Structure 1
Amino acid sequence: MSHLAEVPAHTLTDASPRRAGARVIHRIIQNRAYRSAYQPIVDLSTSTIEGFECLTRFDASGDRSPDTWFLEAAEAGLGDRLEADTIGCAIRALRILPPGLYLSVNASPGAVLTGAILPIFERIDPRRIVLELTEHRPVENYAALNEALGPLRARGLRVAVDDVGAGHADLQHLIHLRPDVVKLDISLTRGLIGSEAIHALISGLVGFAHAIESRVVAEGIETPAQLHALKALGIDAGQGFFLGAPIGVRR
């Protein structure tokens, strides 16, 4: 999953019912009206935590999904700024994270291509970062995206493709980016038990990912039955409330 949000009503008084608008997005950025939470990612072969996904929670309100906040920021011309600021906030946890554990952060290919988020990773050890690419539409220039990611990947940064199996453009992402990590969409985990089709789909994705030397992470594990079935399919790691809820960190 990409970003996580919580929203009470008082900060959207000048927003339309459907859109936050540039003024509200700007205020969120200016006031740093967000914080980070961290959900454990567990190695399924050892049952130990291998890293944490960084999730953004907004101190705003409404029924907007997290992705909607970032989409509206992009439409207001503030998407790169919001992504850079929230990633910068999230990776502060590296200072207290035990050695050997990594942080997984979400970013759009657009923010990579513009260079908006890349300087953040030059100031830290990129070997402790997994960069999850979250956009669900075709990337127009994979060569440019690979070129932008190249120097950081050479220094050890790992790239993940998020929400694989949800449709959209994820198969093209897998083919052209050859990610280090493939993250299966939560819908596959939720629909797995009792579905031969989803079982076959996950099996195929695991086989493909392992063939290109990618590690497979399943999201949304909420029951022992799901965990058992995913382990049997060869999933490398997982996250979800059954394995650990997000840990909130106050500013």
Structure 2
Amino acid sequence: MNLKNVRIKRKYEACIIMLAVLLFMGSCGSTKEDPADWQDLFNGKNLEGWTPKIYHHELGDNYANTFRVKDGTIEVNYDEYEQFNERYGHLFYKQPFSSFHLKFRYKFTQQWMEDAPVYTYRNSGVMFHSQDPKTILKEQDWPISVEYQMLADAEDGNPRPTGNMCSPGTEVIFEGEMDPRHCIESTSPTIPWNEWVEADLIVYGDSLVIHKVNGKTVLQYTKPQIGGEVANGFDPEMKKDGQLLNSGYIGLQAEGQGVIFKNIKIKDLSNKE
């Protein structure tokens, strides 16, 4: 099959997936949502059900109280650090999910570790379809996963959309083709760093993924799968390039920038595929 035919085939497959999901969503548009469908992932009191994994540290070591609970929120806070030292962290929920609708709110703080890479400034994210945190090695910097990336205004005059996609050790199909970029920008506006943002992540297994910001769809892509680069120090058995990601773990990110998460809820969509 020549390159032109491959591209046509990919675009056709993407259109079929999109059409199927849109038809489903349209058929359910008149159905009143039941609050009981939503599960709270965070109890507002402690980190029960969540486990940290920080680069250079063993699973479960919440170094310098990086992840903490304050006033009913989960904070990423660095006030007990002397140096960041590449301690990229993730706080994982206890169970994997396949098809789901995740909702959460976030806001950045003024805190940023100046020895962290410059790209981490007003930058965080939520990982999904991640490898089991028990398989992440002590000296592995990023989990093999897909990321709902959160950015905020850096006050430098440059646009910084939020709700982007980043792909440590993974790849996705965007606009009908495998996209080689590590991060794909959304269509969201640039949002001030100190504003609460409502984020939605809608995932249909290994088919369609939808990112929303403040209720508006800002990015869509399909077929999340293992591949690409960026993640380092992983067990080679965990990185089988080309393997579609149908499920995985959810993790809140900490990469040198202070951030607050709250109202973290999930709805299982397994019966909606």
* TM-score bracket for the superposition, by shorter chain length: under 0.3
- Normalized per residue, the structure richer in strand is 2
- Normalized per residue, the structure richer in helix is 1
Higher relative contact order (CA 8 A, sep 6+): 2
Q: If the length of structure 1 is used for normalisation, what is the TM-score?
A: 0.27
